[in-house]
Amino acid sequence: MWVDSTHSSGWAWGAFDVRNSGDKLLSIDQIQIRGQAVPFQNWYANSTVNGISSAQFQAALIYTSMIGTTNGVLNNGTQFGGVTWTMTTCPNTPGNNNMVIQLASGQPTICLSQQSGPISLAPGQKAIVYFKVPQNLLTSVDAGSASSVAVYAGKVGSPVSVTVAAK
Task: Determine what percent of the chain is predicted with pLDDT higher than 70.
Answer: 83
In this predicted structure, what is the pLDDT of residue 55? 85
What confidence tens digit (pLDDT) does each residue in 112-121 have? 888 999 999 9
In this predicted structure, what is the pLDDT of residue 24? 95
Residue 110 confidence (pLDDT) above 70: yes
Which one, of 137, 13, 145, lies nearest residue 3 by Cα? 13
Instruction: Over range 49-61, report the average pLDDT.
Output: 83
In this predicted structure, what is the pLDDT of residue 68? 65
Cβ proximity of 63 and 73 under 8 Å = no
Residue 90 confidence (pLDDT) above 80: no
In this predicted structure, what is the pLDDT of residue 75? 64
Confidence of residue 5 (pLDDT cuts 50, 70, 90): confident
In this prediction the pTM is 0.85
| CA dist., res. 11 & res. 135, Å (int) | 5
For the CA atoms of 13, 98, 84, 55, the dihedral, rounded to the nearest 10 degrees, stands at: 80
Residue 83 confidence (pLDDT) above 60: no
In this predicted structure, what is the pLDDT of residue 69? 72
Residue 54 confidence (pLDDT) above 90: no
Residue 50 confidence (pLDDT) above 90: no
Domain-wise residue ranges, the chain: 2-166
Residue 41 CA, distance from chain mean position = 11
